[in-house]
Amino acid sequence: MPPGTPDIRVIADRYELRSRISSGGMGQVWLGYDPILNRDVAIKLIRRDLTTPGPDAEELAERFKREAHVTAKFDHPGVPAIHDAVLDRAADGVYMVMQLVRGTLLTDIIARPGALPVSWAVSVAAQICSVLSYAHAVPVVHRDLKPDNVMVAVDGTVKVLDFGVAAVLGTDVTKLTSTGHIIGTRRYMSPEQIQAAAVSPRSDLYALGCILHELLAGKPPFTAEAEFQLMEDHMYRAPAPLRGLRAEVAPALEGLVLDLLAKVPHQRPDSAQDVYDRLVPFLPAPDPERTTEQRAQGPADPTGPYRRPLAPRPRPADKAAYTPTVLNLPPQPAAPAVPDEELQQARGHAAALVEEQRFSQASGMLEEVLARAAAVRSTSEPLVVGLRLVHALALFCDDDYGRALPEYEALVEVLEAVGPSRSEDALYCRRQAAFCRMELGDSEGALSEFEAVLDQMRQGLEERDEGVLEVRRHVGLLLQAVDRLRDAVEVLMPLYQDLLAEYGPGAPETAQVRDALVRIRLRTSRNPGTGRTTTRGN
């Protein structure tokens, strides 16, 4: 540090805090400097009371490391890159070091006099959809999407901020701190977040609906000053249709916003890609004569760069519709053999890497071996199946549920075809696939799979078996998530008694089910007609 320089706080023995940019509910954002790479950075300091040292300190460290690692997996120009994630034990602090973005916060754009052009509002929402489509495929759910966390850069690119921080802290604060705070902003918070229920990608879509409503109408859908009333409005009150507030809004655009603001998650659009598709008709036509340099000369205009590279992530390919392309190529030399010993060694090495929590390294190594083996061996050979099981586990442990799901589904087909000798392995893979679906936000698909798994497990296990209790809990909570509240109570009430007997009242599983039953009771008492009953299989 040059002589005469004022004392500058340094964190993690590297990053200098230069000046504070902003403060919020989760902490402060600082303009920082990285002397090793000679660049300015943005540093988010998480509030100390959210990471208070105590019995949960080790769990915090592991959760923070895992979630920061997962968040760093998706690369998109609409998300500031995460350069580092630091748990500074000496300072008892948590820091996120990110790319510094210069632009205008969406909050400030909304605050300008006059109504925003519809094309601007739609272009901002479309770019947010592009970001969400990539994030939700990981899956990473933002959990605190709001105008303060959206910036329009000078070239018109929309940046979604604080993805890493929101994913790290989440709403499951009981695992991080005893303060009892809920992370998020209630003016844009989904009903399920307010009720501390399961959060899914559709929770972000609800927040997007709040933002799009505000961009078009000049105010959020619910504006009560009292916090309790605001939460009540989000949970129970219907939003005002946009055309009553701004007549030029097209009926289809109004319908999209109302669908995004549905109270029950499964009644919202299925994905960010679906929302993007419904926004496309309202996007401005591309102007090939207008260059990037010309755009940058004027005020930040979000209508410019929305199409490419900011289109949403392609949907996963439909397995049933896939047919391999057959090319008329000259004969190729036979692929070299892959001996049994190599497959056995690869499995042992990969298992050791998984044990060391080096999941990405394990999956990458196995993909190379499996690709070579597929050229000369059947994918259903026992040794190959063993490798595929470890590969799926590595993806699953790495929270890469989008890639783990098709692996487990393919393994279910192979193992079930073998017969009863592999039935337990097939059931395990089906259960893993159901969990992947749940984490990816496919509540109805996960529920169907878990119900099928539970039926099989009950054929040989007691109701209070640890595995059966876990699957019963998933079924009950998913029934709640898809608004089958009466069915959920029928599952959760006896489950609660069994959890009390097996684990006691203080166990996290017991508390989760108890809280779910309380939320269902409160909701049904407020709206007696709430909660459809659906026959299993419909």
Query: Where does residue 196 rank: exposed (0-12), middle (13-18), buried (19+ CB within 10 A)?
Result: middle
Q: Which fold is adopted by the domain 340-526?
A: 1.25.40
DSSP 366-415: HHHHHHHHHTTS-TTSHHHHHHHHHHHHHHHHTT-HHHHHHHHHHHHHHH
How far apart are the C-alpha atoms of 95 and 29, rounded to whole Å?
10
Confidence tier at 69 by pLDDT (50, 70, 90): confident
Predicted confidence (pLDDT) per residue in 240-292, tens digit:
999 999 999 999 999 999 999 999 998 999 999 999 999 999 998 766 555 44
DSSP 314-326: PPPP-GGG--PPP
Greater confidence, 39 or 321? 39
Q: Which fold is adopted by the domain 10-288?
A: Transferase(Phosphotransferase); domain 1 (1.10.510)
Residue 94 has pLDDT above 80, yes or no: no
Confidence tier at 3 by pLDDT (50, 70, 90): very low
Confidence tier at 54 by pLDDT (50, 70, 90): low
Q: How many CB atoms lie within 10 A of CB 117?
A: 16
Q: Where are the domains of the chain?
A: 10-288, 340-526
- Please check whether residue 491 is in contact with residue 477, taking contact to mean a CB–CB distance below 8 angstroms: no
Give the active site residue among 13, 88, 144, 400.
Answer: 144
pTM of the model: 0.76
Predicted local confidence at residue 475, as pLDDT: 97
Confidence tier at 51 by pLDDT (50, 70, 90): low
| Mean pLDDT, residues 194-223 | 92
Note if 487 is an active site residue.
no
Confidence tier at 383 by pLDDT (50, 70, 90): very high
Mean pLDDT taken over the chain: 82
Q: How many CB atoms lie within 10 A of CB 209?
A: 25
For residue 27, the one-letter residue type is G
